[in-house]
Amino acid sequence: MPSYSVRDVERVLRLSPSITRGLIRAGFVKPARGPRRAYRFSFQDLIVLRTARALLDARVPAKRVRRSLDRLRRELPAALPLSGLAISAVGDRVVVRDGEKRWQADSGQYLLGLDVTLENGLLQVVEHKAAAPAAAAAVPEPERDWFAEGLTLESTDPASALAAYRRAAHEDPHNAAAWINWGRLLHVLGETVQAEAVYGQARERIGEDPLLLFNQAVLLEDVGKTAAALAAYQGALAADPDLADCHYNLARLYESLGKPQHAIRHLGEYRRLVGARS
């Protein structure tokens, strides 16, 4: 079965690496790992990524997007049929059809239309946007999804993305993804003191979330707080023993601390988990 790299995602879907990784962190797709731990995407992953981005851009709330994508995954075949696919969505409903026949909604705002085909052996994904009906009835403004805005803005306007994540976290203190992305983006931008404060607040609000603890550990390691980083990595594994990247980082950290026995154990766990996915 063919798989696709992050570069393929850029070429086929025109999504930047930062947007792609943001959608992965938000849990919309779970790609496999290839050589050197590089992401490898299935055909279904590519379509789910493109659909997620289109629905988030249309300001569909993230919970409804997840429901849509769960349904989409159930509809998608393992490989692209020779006739291609047509994918349409209205609200939180996504329908897939083979061949030329497209599904159209009877009413409501038409949000997404994708044609997926193979041309000269290359996967092609083309989006069609339908104009809203001229006499369409007024619909209420959807609730603003600050987390989705943050995902969309990361690659073009990091400052606005930070503000969006901050708003999402404050409006829903139990939104783990908002806290995690807020802290991670501060870290990427070199604002390590602020990032550390955000992670500390997040642990008070959402508890021992494994991805939060992992990201906090990476930050603590980067600023030289090795003992605290070790504790955070160990906490992440206590919450999720199958967090492969955490085993990898612990193996590397223990090796640097001159503890080869610990390093070998975590490296073995990392290889077991990555091998189980491939």
Mean pLDDT, residues 186-201 = 94
Task: Please determine, for residue 201, whether its predicted confidence score (pLDDT) is greater than 80.
Answer: yes
Dihedral (Cα; 38, 44, 48, 51), 10-degree rounding: 130
Q: How many CA atoms lie within 13 A of 44 on its CB side?
A: 17
pLDDT of residue 94: 61
pLDDT band at 104 (very low <50, low <70, confident <90, very high): very low
**Do residues 242 and 218 lie in contact, with contact meaning Cβ atoms separated by under 8 Å?**
no
Domain ranges in the chain are 6-127, 158-277
- Which of 14-23, 84-93, 236-245 has the least mean pLDDT? 84-93
* pLDDT greater than 70 at residue 118: no
pLDDT for position 219: 95
> Residue 131: its pLDDT value, please?
46
Q: Which residues pair with 119 in a beta bridge?
A: 122
Q: Is there a contact between 128 and 94 (Cβ–Cβ < 8 Å)?
A: no
Confidence band of 200 (pLDDT split at 50, 70, 90): very high
- Structure-token pair, residue 235: 């906490």
Distance (Å, rounded) from C-alpha 222 to C-alpha 46? 32
Lowest mean pLDDT among 105-109, 156-160, 172-176, 246-250: 105-109
Task: Give the pLDDT band (50/70/90) at residue 126.
Answer: low
List CB contacts of 217: < 8 A, sequence separation 6 or more.
229, 230, 232, 233, 236, 246, 249
| Model-wide pTM > 0.75 | no
Give per-residue pLDDT as tens, 214-239: 999 999 999 999 999 999 999 999 99
User: Rounded to an integer, what distance in angstroms lies between the CA atom of residue 94 and that of residue 149?
Assistant: 21
Q: Please state, as a whole number, how many other Cβ atoms lie within 10 Å of the Cβ of residue 198.
A: 28
Classify domain 158-277 by CATH architecture: Alpha Horseshoe (1.25)
Predicted confidence (pLDDT) at residue 95 exceeds the cutoff of 90: no
Higher-confidence position of 110 and 72: 72
**What is the model's pLDDT at position 132?**
44
Percent of the chain with pLDDT over 70: 68
The pLDDT of residue 106 is above 60: no
Q: What is the mean pLDDT of residues 105-112?
A: 39
pLDDT averaged over the chain?
77
